[in-house]
Amino acid sequence: MTLRTERATTAGARTGTRAVGVRAGEVNIERLRAPFSLRCGALLIDYILLIGVVALATLLARMFGIETRRDTSTLLTITYVTIGVVALLNFVLLAGSGGQTLGKWVTGLRVEERDGVPLGYVRAALRHLVGYPLSFLTLGVGLILAAFNREGRALHDFLAGTVVVRARDASRVYNAPPQSSPKN
């Protein structure tokens, strides 16, 4: 279910009716854009997952009584590698294959390219591995951009050419009113 534009062959275009202020062939991003609060919730869930890996490693270290310096450095190395693998799985593989990280799946959001094409692995990697760090390096200003621009796009969205939309609103994508049943 991707964001698709209304084509001239739809019933709305044939009858000349369409949403007010929206031209045929355009998608009304305002109707589909993800609310800033849901985006924050999805990001929080994704990072709780990563912090959970650290908490689990700490718990295991306490359970098994790891106290020597050599054992601790080995555990830290294993923890860092595990965090990297979980981050790649969540932010690149899951996002690249379905447009959703675990956090976005829970909150009902989806990442797509700006023109509605499903997110690929390269854009997912660009968005999450380059864009997120840049958004954080700006002391969060890159993230807060999503609250103030019309399309709800943050710095990492501008960098990767993506937009975050509501996944559950895919049935209301078209700008044209619903087709009326033919009269017999």
What is the pLDDT averaged over residues 87-106?
A: 96
d(CA 37, CA 113): 21
- The string of pLDDT tens digits covering residues 37-61 is 999 999 999 999 999 998 998 888 7
Q: What is the pLDDT of residue 113?
A: 94
- Is pLDDT above 90 for 86? yes
Q: Which residue has the higher pLDDT, 87 or 174?
A: 87
Q: What is the pTM of this model?
A: 0.73
| Pair of tokens at residue 86 | 């979980």
Contacts of 100 (CB under 8 A, 6+ apart): 94, 109, 110, 111, 167
- Is pLDDT above 70 for 173? no
d(CA 53, CA 79): 7
Amino acid at residue number 149: N
Amino acid at residue number 109: L
